Amino acid sequence: MASPNQRVIIVGGGLAGLGAAVRIAEEGVPVDLFSMVPVKRSHSVCAQGGINACNDVARQQGYSEWQHMDETLYGGDFLNHQPPVYEMTHWAPQIIDLLDRMGVPFNRTPEGRRDLRLFGGSLFKRTHFSGATTGQQLLYALDEQTRRQEAAGMVHKYEFWEFLWPIIEQTDDGPLCHGIVAQDMRTMEIKSFKADATVLATGGCGTIFGKSTNSVICNGAAAARAYRAGAWMGNAEFIQVHPTAIPGEDKCRLMSESARGEGGRVWVPRKKDDDRAPGDIPEDERWYFLEEKYPKYGNLVPRDIATREIFFMCQEGYGIGGGRMVYLDCTALPDETKKKLDGIFEIYEKFTGDDPREIAMRIFPSVHYTMGGLWTTYSSEEKQPVHGDKGKAVGMQLGAPDNMMTNIPGLYAFGEVNYQYHGGTRLGANALLSCIFDGIFCGPSVVNYLADRREAGNTVDKVPDTFFAEAVETEQKKVEHLVAGKGGENPYVLHEEMGNWMTDYCTVVRDDAGMKKLLEQLQTWKSRYENVSLSDTAMWTNQNLSFTRALGDMIRYAEAIVVGALARTESRGSHYRPDFPDRDDRQFQQTTIASYDAEHDRPDVRYEYIPVPMVEPRARTYGAVK
Amino acid sequence: MPDRTIQLKIKRQDDQSASPYWQTFSIPYRPNMNVISCLQYIAAHPTTADGTETTPVVWDCSCLEEVCGACTMVINGEVRQSCSALVDRLLEEDDSIKLEPMTKFPVVRDLFVDRSRLFEDLKKTQGWVPIDGLYSLGPGPWESPAKQDTRYDLSRCMSCGCCLEVCPQYTRNNNFVGAAVISQVRYFNTHPIGANNAAERLNAMMEPGGISDCGNAQNCVKVCPKDIPLTESIADVGRMTTIHSIKQFFRGE
């Protein structure tokens, strides 16, 4: 048992963070929960389409948890570790049950059971959904359960607090995490917080690419800070570009894969520069290029594939009006199907003025999900195969203290910031699952780790207070340094420039020359960053300071992405190199591990073998016909 | 029109106790701008229209696609999310854009307000389904599509506070919980397991600041960005409360 004095810190209040908070609190361990926004406003709220799990109907149609695992590995181009995927997909049905018990308004069949929709990377309906705002509904359910634990005194929320640094001691036995330094974003007070275990559940890094589908808080700074403090990154170069988003002035807004799952079709006019309204273009003059090339999966090929096809179409001049957009057409869907998509149709209508029920949507790919992230480990064990399993079954050991722990004992990574589960591309509707799974399955691991630490006699209460005071002082000095900066470099301009470069050279197509230029540019951004000036030096609710501080971390994260992408001379999942168009299992059936070399301010990259206990890698074609 | 600019008048306040003041910013026009992109421009170029250097305007935001509720403010006199406030449409009605913080919550700085009262009220009204923990215990209750449809509409409340801003009864000096929280009481009380705590929620609704403080102005439902049937919820919870109090009376509670 953990001692009553032991606490856990969770940074991030999305699905992973809240799932962990409730699970750990339920074990009687108090949780300090940190978030830059009220947790109800976390980025999980943006997820739209659904959450995957085998259910009884799918099972009777020939689907199984094993099949769900196989799809996830095939979709991920076999860069995923298999035991965590086995465990996640086998837990998926009970996770849906749990969410159902929490009151999530899942869409229902006429009989009152949970309905399913089709989603990318599968030929089976196995995606549970709540309209087209599933993420919002799931987040709210966990937000409610967290509020319940808060009312019971088990969870203490620190909302509008920013994680600044993990507190890590270099002991004789190696590094050990003792908590965090954080800053109140309103009063600007910087404080240290002690804990025997710290969970980072801080999400993805989309805003490194400037405009993305991510919330403004998804800047990767928390992960980058952990990385700069010694945590390893895994597969940082794997960034998902979602095929269907509405390009905007301030961000790109996601148009869910569920639009295609429910029957929406992607097309361009066969004639270049056809300037007729989409409704006036007859059927035989439309080019449904995804359906043509992938007759089996059609519009529901995995996202990286759909994204590349759309991108190349536009590059060849087939985009609408010769530009960078294609049609996503839901106009022909029956009314009851359209109703299931109201949540996203409303967004499209509000932001573009067009009603997608009447006129085809105009969409283009946008940076969307971070498959890579902080490197983590786990304990695997052989399982008794269940119905549908095809051979030896290897999953994770429930409650093993090292599940989803980083290379720094006491520091965990859950949810999108964790590099596990999705490999080279994440399948649609697997993100909500992996985030909740991390929280709920690995929560007990954190609790067991506390007990281990207590038995080992190295709990945080033995660390002298001066150690924490120094950590706070270091962060205060960084603030003073930024406030004193007089070099005149504008952090927002620098961020916009980096975002444009990263999008142009390190997203859909990654060619060698472009990335080399980008890497050079990164070095100049580092030196320009040293000359940033703040336009606000007030010590009260200073967003300018928070943004600028994060930018320095984002540049380091960006470098890990680019260095990883340059070194990986193959194409796999979302990582496409025109100079190396094939997957190279001999050399790269491996995880990229980036560790931060503080002395030279650069990432060191090495590779780690990925065991293949269950599913042998096979060619990932999705039945392409040409 | 390459040199076209638009004017943003912003009500600012340096901290909780400072006096508010107005500043005007001039922003280069681009098609499809929203209020967020204007504020982002000001963050990068914090100079007023008359050329005075100032601090960037502080505001609250996160998702920018009207699903998190963070970026709510008063725009040209109407409370709404600034992400879905499109400049072209605002300018059809007025030649400039005026931004003010919500008035029903304490200002932290500029357009950023403290809405923690809303979340505290959700705690008071037990805004959750009281499940037996996160263990594997099978599915929840079945539900008809019609009932799911009703609950889904209620469950989209993003705690933005628009309904509270326009409510004449919700003030900074009282403890009325307002339409958002009342609607959540309905949401949880209509769930078969949520209903296990219905009595506690209705008791909270009968306390000062509860349902009887509603003045039936019906402003709330008009401004809800998610079209939640708030007045229907208020009527429904009103009925539940009446029945609950009659039952209590006969039980001698």
Q: Would residue A584 be called left, alpha or beta, if left means φ above 0 and alpha means ψ between -120 and 50 degrees?
A: beta
Q: Where in chain A is the domain with CATH 3.90.700.10?
A: 242-365
Average pLDDT value for chain A? 97
Same domain, B243 and B154: yes
The residue among A108, A483, A547 with the most chain B CBs within 10 A of its CB, best to mutate, is A108
Contact between chains at A37 and B68 (C-beta distance less than 8 A): yes
In tens, the pLDDT along A235-246 reads: 999 999 999 999
Does pLDDT of A2 surpass 70? Answer: no
- Residue A626's pLDDT band (cuts 50, 70, 90): low
Same domain, B181 and B220: yes
What average pLDDT does range A558-581 have in this prediction? 98
CATH code for the domain in which residue B101 is found: 3.10.20.30
Contact between chains at B119 and A147 (C-beta distance less than 8 A): yes
Match domain A242-365 to its CATH number in 2.60.34.10, 3.30.200.20, 3.90.700.10, 1.20.120.1690: 3.90.700.10
A249 secondary structure, DSSP code: S
Out of A136, A216, A541, closest to residue B62 by CB: A216
Which residues of chain A from 59 to 98 reach within 8 Å of chain B, CB to CB? 94, 96-98
Contact between chains at A535 and B55 (C-beta distance less than 8 A): yes
Chain B residues close to A535, C-beta within 8 Å: 46, 53, 55-56
* Residue after which a domain boundary falls, among B80, B113, B146: B113
What average pLDDT does range B231-238 have in this prediction? 98
Same domain, B209 and B160: yes
CB A575, CB A372: distance < 8 Å: no
Report in angstroms the alpha-carbon separations of B143 from A133, A306, B104: 19, 36, 38
Fold of A466-585: Methane Monooxygenase Hydroxylase; Chain G, domain 1 (1.20.58)
Q: Tell me, what's the pLDDT at A356?
A: 97
Q: What is the full DSSP assignment across A488-546? A: -B-HHHHHHHHHHHHHHHSSS---HHHHHHHHHHHHHHHHHHTTB--S---SSS-HHHH
What average pLDDT does range A72-97 have in this prediction? 98
Nearest chain B Cα distance for residue A585, angstroms: 38
Does pLDDT of A92 surpass 80? Answer: yes
Nearest chain B Cα distance for residue A95, angstroms: 8
Q: Tell me, what's the pLDDT at B253?
A: 73
Q: Which residues of A524-552 are buried (b: 16+ CB within 10 A; e: fewer)?
A: ebeebbeebbbbbebeebbbbbbbbbbbb
Same domain, B108 and B183: no
Q: Tell me, what's the pLDDT at A160?
A: 98
Nearest chain B Cα distance for residue A20, angstroms: 11
What average pLDDT does range A159-172 have in this prediction? 97
Contact between chains at B133 and A109 (C-beta distance less than 8 A): no
Chain A residues close to B117, C-beta within 8 Å: none
Q: Which of A539, A410, A422, A445 is nearest to B14 (CA)?
A: A539
What average pLDDT does range A528-540 have in this prediction? 97
CB A621, CB A582: distance < 8 Å: no
Same domain, B123 and B242: yes
In tens, the pLDDT along B78-128 reads: 999 999 999 999 998 888 999 999 999 999 999 999 999 999 999 999 999
Q: Which residue of B has its CA nearest to A91?
A: B136
CB A279, CB A397: distance < 8 Å: no
Q: Tell me the count of A-B CB pairs closer than 8 A.
A: 187
What range does the domain containing B232 cover? 116-251
* Residue after which a domain boundary falls, among B113, B130, B160: B113
Nearest chain B Cα distance for residue A254, angstroms: 9
Contact between chains at A103 and B119 (C-beta distance less than 8 A): no
User: What is the percentage of chain A residues whose pLDDT exceeds 70?
Assistant: 99
Q: What is the pTM of this model?
A: 0.98
Provide the number of structural domains found in chain B.
2
Whether residue A538 lies within 8 A of chain B, CB to CB, comes out as yes
CB A525, CB A498: distance < 8 Å: yes
Cα separation of A479 and A584, whole Å? 45
Which of the following is catalytic: A126, A253, A286, A303? A303
Nearest chain A Cα distance for residue B168, angstroms: 26
Chain B residues close to A255, C-beta within 8 Å: none
Chain A residues close to B44, C-beta within 8 Å: 490, 492-493, 496
Whether A303 is catalytic is: yes
CB B37, CB A250: distance < 8 Å: yes
Same domain, B105 and B174: no
Which residues of chain A from 433 to 462 reach within 8 Å of chain B, CB to CB? 440, 443
- State ipTM: 0.97
Does pLDDT of A1 surpass 80? Answer: no
Chain A residues close to B46, C-beta within 8 Å: 535-536
Q: Tabulate helix, strand, coil % of chain A (nearest 5).
A: 40, 20, 40
Same domain, B126 and B106: no
Same domain, B92 and B143: no
Q: Tell me, what's the pLDDT at B1?
A: 47
Contact between chains at B65 and A102 (C-beta distance less than 8 A): no
User: What is the percentage of chain B residues whose pLDDT exceeds 70?
Assistant: 99
In tens, the pLDDT along A475-484 reads: 999 999 999 9
Contact between chains at B129 and A45 (C-beta distance less than 8 A): no
Helix A431-456 with A82-101: angle, nearest 10 deg:
100
- Residue A389's pLDDT band (cuts 50, 70, 90): very high
In tens, the pLDDT along A94-116 reads: 999 999 999 999 999 999 999 99
Contact between chains at B128 and A41 (C-beta distance less than 8 A): no
Cα separation of A597 and A606, whole Å? 13
- Residue B2's pLDDT band (cuts 50, 70, 90): low
Same domain, B122 and B98: no
CB B131, CB B193: distance < 8 Å: yes
* Residue after which a domain boundary falls, among B113, B138, B170: B113
Tokens linked to A337? 């199907």
Tokens linked to A285? 């003059």
In tens, the pLDDT along B190-214 reads: 999 999 999 999 999 999 999 999 9
Contact between chains at A350 and B66 (C-beta distance less than 8 A): yes
Between A4 and B184, whose confidence is greater? B184
Chain A residues close to B108, C-beta within 8 Å: 186, 541
CB A125, CB A266: distance < 8 Å: no
Contact between chains at B133 and A26 (C-beta distance less than 8 A): yes
Residues 6+ apart with CB under 8 A from A464: none
Q: Where in chain A is the domain with CATH 3.50.50.60?
A: 8-238+371-464
CA dihedral in degrees (B115, B118, B123, B127; nearest 10)? -130
Cα separation of B129 and B187, whole Å? 10
- State the residue for tokens 């989603």: A119
Q: What is the full DSSP assignment across B56-120? A: PPP---S-SSSSS-TTEEEETTEEEESSS-BHHHHHHH-SEEEEE--SSS-EEETTEE--HHHHH
CATH code for the domain in which residue B212 is found: 1.10.1060.10
CATH number corresponding to A8-238+371-464? 3.50.50.60
In tens, the pLDDT along B210-225 reads: 999 999 999 999 999 9
